[in-house]
């Protein structure tokens, strides 16, 4: 087995802990996060206040009809497994209802842990790319360091300079992206671009940088997005019917969940086809 194949096996195994397990979480995303009445949420909710739809057993009372009830934003949120990690590891099973004294620290630690888990997902992606030995070693070191931070106690998480750590890791992710896209000629650079509602039907965006781009409502039907770097791209309402996202770099489940696709949309094997997509 090649080094890259061996790494892929490990990253697939490690991703198991980076997938949300709501059954082992104290509904932290339904309490710690804030949202405002909009096209994504039917009502306002301040941070630290339980959602009106949250039941006493930490389950959502409208989970099966979130979109119909106006809570589409909930369906595209991904904690990357931070919810169960905070609930069962960081706070050792003490829930904010049974132990109110932990509530504020738990709610503050949760988003820090989520950021670290998101970075771990991206690092796993980067380690599956054709990077050189030096960069691979740096990515492995970054994964080890990030895992150590995520395993820390609440005090350590709350004291962490998350932005600084993210910047360090992001520099490595960018290098991995460049290595993966090196063979694509005439790559387009749309990093951070405002492409809201853009008409990009059938566009040749193979190997393009769409890092942090606003693709809200963009028409990407039939577009070639192979090897396009989409880390941080806002794909809410983007029409990706028939588009090829099969090898898009750093594509995550919440981006697909926020977009509108169909059976012809090609996606990576590690991600799931959203239930609301057209057949």
| Closest among 57, 71, 65 to 27, alpha carbons compared | 57
Does 24 share its domain with 137?
yes
Question: Which of 129, 155, 181 is the C-terminal boundary of a domain?
Answer: 181
Question: Which of 155, 181, 207 is the C-terminal boundary of a domain?
Answer: 181
Does 112 share its domain with 13?
yes
Does 170 share its domain with 200?
no
Does 85 share its domain with 207?
no
What is the CATH classification number for the domain harbouring 248? 2.160.20.80
pTM above 0.85, yes or no: yes
Identify whether 62 is part of a domain: no
Identify whether 235 is part of a domain: yes
Does 140 share its domain with 171?
yes
Tens digit of each residue's pLDDT (9 = 90 or more) over 200-242: 999 999 999 999 999 999 999 999 999 999 999 999 999 999 9
Q: Interhelix angle for 133-150 vs 162-181, to 10°?
A: 150
Does 28 share its domain with 108?
yes
Tens digit of each residue's pLDDT (9 = 90 or more) over 98-149: 999 999 999 999 999 999 999 999 999 999 999 999 999 999 999 999 999 9
Q: Interhelix angle for 3-14 vs 103-127, to 10°?
A: 160
- Average pLDDT for 2-17: 64
Structure tokens that stand for 28 in this block: 């932290």
Rg (CA), the chain: 19
Provide the number of structural domains found in the chain: 2
Identify whether 48 is part of a domain: no
Round to whole Å and give the CA distance between 276 and 22. Answer: 20
* pLDDT at 10 (0 to 100): 60
pLDDT tier, 278 (very low <50, low <70, confident <90, very high otherwise): confident
Identify whether 52 is part of a domain: no
- Average pLDDT for 27-49: 95
pLDDT tops 80 at residue 2: no
* pLDDT at 1 (0 to 100): 47
- One-letter-per-residue 3-state SS of the chain: CCHHHHHHHHHHHHHHHHCCCHHHCCCHHHCCCCECCCCCCCCCECCCCCCCCECCCCCECCHHHCCCCCCHHHHCCCCCCHHHHHHHHHCCCCCCCCCHHHHHHHHHHHHHHHHHHHHHHHHHHHHCCCCCHHHHHHHHHHHHHHHHHHCCCHHHHHHCCHHHHHHHHHHHHHHHHHHHHCCCCCCCECCCCECCCCECCCCECCCCECCCCECCCCECCCCECCCCECCCCECCCCECCCCECCCCECCCHHHHHHCECCCCCECCCCCCCCCCCCC
User: Residue 143 is part of which domain span?
Assistant: 3-33+77-181
Q: Interhelix angle for 133-150 vs 103-127, to 10°?
A: 160
């Amino acid at each position: 087995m090649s080094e890259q194949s061996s790494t892929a096996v490990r990253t697939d195994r490690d991703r198991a802990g980076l997938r949300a397990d709501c059954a082992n979480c104290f509904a932290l995303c339904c309490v710690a996060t804030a949202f405002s009445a909009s096209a994504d949420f039917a009502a306002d909710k301040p941070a630290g206040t339980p959602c009106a739809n949250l039941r006493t057993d930490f389950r959502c009372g409208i989970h099966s009809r979130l979109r119909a009830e106006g809570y589409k934003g909930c369906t595209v949120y991904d904690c990357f497994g931070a919810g169960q990690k905070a609930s069962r590891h960081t706070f050792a099973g003490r829930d904010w209802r049974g132990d109110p004294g932990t509530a504020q620290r738990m709610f503050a630690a949760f988003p820090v842990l989520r950021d670290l888990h998101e970075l771990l997902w991206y690092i796993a992606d980067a380690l599956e790319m054709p990077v050189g030995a030096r960069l691979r070693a740096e990515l492995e070191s970054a994964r080890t360091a990030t895992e150590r931070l995520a395993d820390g106690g609440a005090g350590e998480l709350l004291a962490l300079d998350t932005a600084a750590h993210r910047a360090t890791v992001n520099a490595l992710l960018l290098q991995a992206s460049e290595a993966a896209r090196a063979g694509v000629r005439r790559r387009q650079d749309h990093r951070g671009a405002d492409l809201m509602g853009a008409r990009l039907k059938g566009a040749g965006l193979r190997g393009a940088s769409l890092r942090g781009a606003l693709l809200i409502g963009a028409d990407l039907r039939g577009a070639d997005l192979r090897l396009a770097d989409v880390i941080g791209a806002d794909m809410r309402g983007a029409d990706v019917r028939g588009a090829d996202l099969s090898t898009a770099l750093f594509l995550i489940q919440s981006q697909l969940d926020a977009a509108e696709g169909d059976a012809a949309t090609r996606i990576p094997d590690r991600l799931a086809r959203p239930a609301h997509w057209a057949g």
